[in-house]
Amino acid sequence: MSKKIYIDAGHGGVQPGAVNGKRKESDDALRLALKLQELLKGQDCEVRMSRTTDVDIDIDDRCADANKWGADYFLSVHRNASTSASATGDEIWIYSKANTYTEAKARNILNAVCKADGLKNRGVKKGAPSYTDYGVNKYTNMHSALIELGFISNASDNKVYDAKLDAIALALAKSLLSVVGSEWKEPVIKGDVNGDGKVTAADAREALRASAKLEKLSDREIQAADMNNDGKVTASDAREILKKSAGVK
């Protein structure tokens, strides 16, 4: 049975979170959450989102949705803020009474993100800055964490967030799979039969040979070569790969 990962894009709607000029935490969180959702498609997990648009959803409702769904892990995505423009780095928050197992999972995620964006690792923290616990950690039944990805009040952190958003999302995707006990599978590029990251005439030749039973392909290679998704590799697929390699639509 595949694991269930719940992605919560913090704030939303009339609750923008931290703001820096026209930049809103709620927008930044949603941008990343949507990228994360896309990356986890096709992986050995199910994904549920608290929101996919700019709407305000009550914390209790987010938690209740994750609990009812039976999520294995809950991650709430946020940006930090400070009155000091020099405050920088990533941190992650867990329930004040969380056990060492939950703490280890959170540290795994935070370390992966800090490696991806190069920002200061501010560590795993318990509770909340000015009260006992964040609701997303207190009211969820599964392992959970709230991650603060750089400071929206820091111009340099914002540049890193924008420039490395894809890398941050990938680090989160891989580490989330890891903490629920799954492994990251490199996405299959349609037409890239030999797995070198590009589609060339060589891939078309492999597909053609496979269609003529002159070569046996692995499951991954078949998935890449099967351009029309009919479950088999034919000369038609080889032609489509050749067209793609030449940039012909």
| Torsion angles phi and psi, residue 47, rounded to 5 | -125, 135
| Torsion angles phi and psi, residue 66, rounded to 5 | -65, -40
Q: Which residues pair with 8 in a beta bridge?
A: 76
Query: In angstroms, rounded to a whole number, what is the distance separating the alpha carbons of residues 7 and 43?
Result: 15
Smallest CA-to-CA distance from 11 within 45, 59, 48 is with 59
- Is position 148 annotated as part of the catalytic site? yes
Largest CA distance in the chain: 68
Query: In angstroms, rounded to a whole number, what is the distance separating the alpha carbons of residues 176 and 21?
Result: 32
Query: In angstroms, rounded to a whole number, what is the distance separating the alpha carbons of residues 161 and 156?
Result: 9
Smallest CA-to-CA distance from 152 within 94, 92, 85 is with 85
Catalytic residue among 148, 206, 221, 240: 148
**Residues recognised as catalytic:** 148
